Amino acid sequence: MKFSYHAVDRIPRELQPGIVYHSEEFELAGLLCACGCGHRITLLVPDSHQVLCEDGLATIRPSIAVCDGECKSHYVISAGHVDWLEAFSGAEAASLMQAQIVRHAVRDARPVSWTGRLVRAARRFIDRIRSILKK
């Protein structure tokens, strides 16, 4: 399966397999698990993941770990192609999720400076222009 990149204003309720939906405004990406189990994955962009468009195909970094789904899939997407990685154990998955919660709690507790907001807005603008030019 190849994953295409779709820039959207909002992540749709119903996701289609093989599509990474990216909302720059809301800094989110959504996709269905690459294993085909139907698990819905939501990524925080750019806090935890980077989503790029390469000739209409999606690239996501770092890896996607489905810790809260039955499949326990772990993979990266590069230019639309899925590269499978070793699944995390239950303990590793729990530790990873706890660390992510702590990281976001710490980040949310810090006020964002006006320069930080400006930099984020500039990145979103540049990414939006790139996605438009790639179409």
Q: What angle do CA 96, 100, 105 make, to 5 degrees?
A: 150
Q: Are 26 and 43 in contact (CB under 8 A)?
A: no
The SS3 call for residue 27 is coil
pTM of the model: 0.73
- Taking residues 50-66, what's their average pLDDT? 93
φ, ψ of residue 65 to 5 degrees: the values are -115, 115
**What contacts 107, CB < 8 A, 6 or more positions away?**
47
Angstrom distance (rounded) from CA 89 to CA 129 = 40
Across 17-124, the runs of DSSP E, i.e. the strands, are 19-23, 28-32, 40-44, 50-54, 57-65, 74-78, 81-84
Q: Could you tell me which of 8, 4, 3 has the C-alpha nearest to residue 132?
A: 8
**Which of 77-86, 98-107, 123-132 has the largest mean confidence?**
77-86
pLDDT attached to residue 107? 65
Higher-confidence position of 17 and 48: 17
Distance CA 56, CA 118 (A): 27
> Is the pLDDT confidence value at 102 over 90?
no
Residue 24 or residue 104, greater confidence? 24
State residue 88's pLDDT score: 80
The pLDDT of 26-34, averaged and rounded, is: 94
At 9, list the tokens: 């204003």
What pLDDT shows up at residue 41?
95
Task: Quote the CA–CA distance of 105 and 99 in Å, as a whole number.
Answer: 10
The pLDDT tens digits of the residues spanning 109-122 come to 667 788 877 887 88
* Whether residue 27 has pLDDT greater than 70: yes
Are 84 and 75 spatial neighbours (Cβ–Cβ below 8 Å)?
A: yes
Say what the pLDDT of residue 99 is: 78
